[in-house]
Structure 1
Amino acid sequence: MNVRKIIGWNLRKLRVAQGLSQERLALAADIDRSYVGRVERGSENVTIDTLEALAKVLGVSAAELLTEPPKGARDPAPLSSGRKPKAN
């Protein structure tokens, strides 16, 4: 797996685990939503500054986004579609 794919795999895994949409992550990191999608697909060459911004929003170190997934790990599941219910 190349580094761009590793970053995308980790980004999606962490984003979905925290229940963040690509749009919310992008807004919090001050980047474009479509850029987040391209990063997750491994088609974007991410700068260190962008990697740091994404990691900060996700509450992890930038190094965690560079950690190779375990052998045989499945792709992270997508976030369930639809809006979340409002918290009371």
Structure 2
Amino acid sequence: MAIDIKTAFGMAVKVKRVEQRLSQEQLANGADMARSFISRVERGTANPSVSSVMKIADTLECLPSELWLRAEQYLSKKP
């Protein structure tokens, strides 16, 4: 089963968050967002705005493009 872009982006955020050893709560606090929103982003059920993506990337100490490139890699993998 193929994944969609929101799911792939959420996977990228979660992997980067775990690499940074941050909890969802820490990411949410750093990005000034609700933990429930971060959870929905990671599950691919939220549709984050451009400014939300920027805040998440800043908190994860990366460029938004790094998250998008990871998401594209997940999208290109064959099931």
What TM-score do the two structures reach when normalised by structure 2? 0.84
Q: CA deviation at 1:63?
A: 1.3
Runs of at least 5 residues in structure 2 that lack an aligned partner in the other structure = none
> Is residue 2:44 matched to residue 1:42?
yes
Separation in 2, partners of 1:26, 1:55: 11
**Equivalents in 1 of 2:6, 2:67: separation in Å?**
10
Tell me how far 1:29 sits from its aligned partner: 0.3
Matched letter for residue 68 of structure 2: L
The yes-or-no answer on 1:69 pairing with 2:58 is: no
1:16-39 deviations in Å (ceiling 9; x for gaps): 011100000000000000000000
**Higher alpha-carbon Rg:** 1
Whole-angstrom distance in 2 between the partners of 1:28 and 1:18: 13
Q: Which of 17, 20, 23 in structure 2 is aligned with 1:18?
A: 20
2:32 maps to 1:30: yes
Normalized per residue, the structure richer in helix is 2
Aligned residues: 73
User: RMSD in angstroms over aligned alpha carbons?
Assistant: 1.6
Please identify, of 40-49 and 57-66, the stretch whose mean Cα deviation from structure 2 is larger: 57-66
1:41-76 CA distance string (max 9 Å, x none): 00001100000000001111111111223526xxxx
Written as runs of structure 1 = structure 2, the 5 A alignment for 1:45-56 is: 45-56=47-58
Give identity over the alignment, percent: 36
- Return the TM-score normalized by structure 1: 0.76
In structure 1, the gaps of 5 or more residues are 73-88
Give every structure 1 segment of 4 or more consecutive aligned residues whose post-TM-superposition deviation is greater than 4 Å: none
